[in-house]
Amino acid sequence: MELINTYTRAQALKDGQQFNTDSLVSGLANESGIPYPVYITLSVKHILDEALQYGNNDISGILWDIFSMFRHAVRRANFDETLSFHVTITWKHRHHKLFRFYAEFGAVDIDNPKTAITIMTKEDL
């Protein structure tokens, strides 16, 4: 099979389609018990950015909640499909909004086979 095109994680980072969570809050994924680099997609970043507009949120707290719920989902996962999990985030007027996220384990990039995690929304699947 001939390879027609590739879109690497490095390109996605450069294009602003993905973000390394360490660039948002250094070391938080590791501190929360996730031993791999964690990347989020632009759609997840939009959720974070919107949540930050409401006074009771900060980036560390929201990411901590996402990482915590991801870790709980991993414990019950069978890993034959994309992992899904829910996170409640404080939203407008201090109301809580439930978000469904998805996670996939894969390589850091095409030239780096080390394990990484990508957290995304349904529109990224």
Q: How does pLDDT run across 31-68, given as a tens digit for each residue?
A: 999 999 999 999 999 999 999 988 678 999 999 999 99
The answer to whether residue 93 scores a pLDDT higher than 90 is: no
Q: Kindly indicate the confidence band of residue 81, based on its pLDDT and cuts at 50, 70 and 90.
A: confident
Across 46-82, b (16+ Cβ under 10 Å) vs e yields ebbeebeeeeebeeeebbbbbbebbeebbeebeeeee
- Mean pLDDT (the chain) is 93
- What residues contact residue 118 under an 8 Å CB cut-off, 6+ apart? 18, 38, 39, 40, 41, 103, 104, 106
Query: By the 8 A CB rule, do 51 and 91 touch?
Result: yes
